[in-house]
Amino acid sequence: MPFKELLPTSVIEQALLKLKIRYYQRLFDPIVMLWAFLSQVLDTDKSCQNAVSKVIAYLARLEVEIPSTH
């Protein structure tokens, strides 16, 4: 995800802790969703399909099981 370096996991986790937001560790947790949303908003192709394809590419690099796009 292009925002991983600009907005590291640690910064997002600190904000979630400060706001007392609890969440489960999932493929699409608040951290990945925030990165995907920012990428979608700032990309010229603002489609959900484009945003999801970026998340899938990110997960593939992590060698995580890729979810169905359906």
What pLDDT, in 10s, does the model give residues 16-67?
999 999 988 887 889 989 999 999 999 999 999 999 888 888 888 888 888 7
- CB contact set of 49 (below 8 Å; sequence gap of 6+): none
Report the alpha-carbon distance of residue 15 to residue 28 in Å, rounded. Answer: 17
Expressed as residue numbers, the domain containing 35 is 9-61
- Give a yes or no: residue 30 inside a domain: yes
Residue with structure tokens 């945003």? 51
Start-to-end CA distance of the chain, whole Å, equals 21
Per-residue confidence at 70, pLDDT binned at 50, 70, 90? low
Number of folded domains in the chain? 1
Confidence category of residue 68, pLDDT binned at 50, 70, 90: confident
* Residue count (the chain): 70
Task: Read off the pLDDT band of 11 (50, 70, 90).
Answer: very high
- Is residue 55 helix, strand or coil? helix
* Residue 2 belongs to some domain of the structure: no
pTM score of the predicted model: 0.77
Within a domain: residue 18? Answer: yes
Place of tokens 């099981």: 65
The residue written with tokens 């990110």 in the block is 58
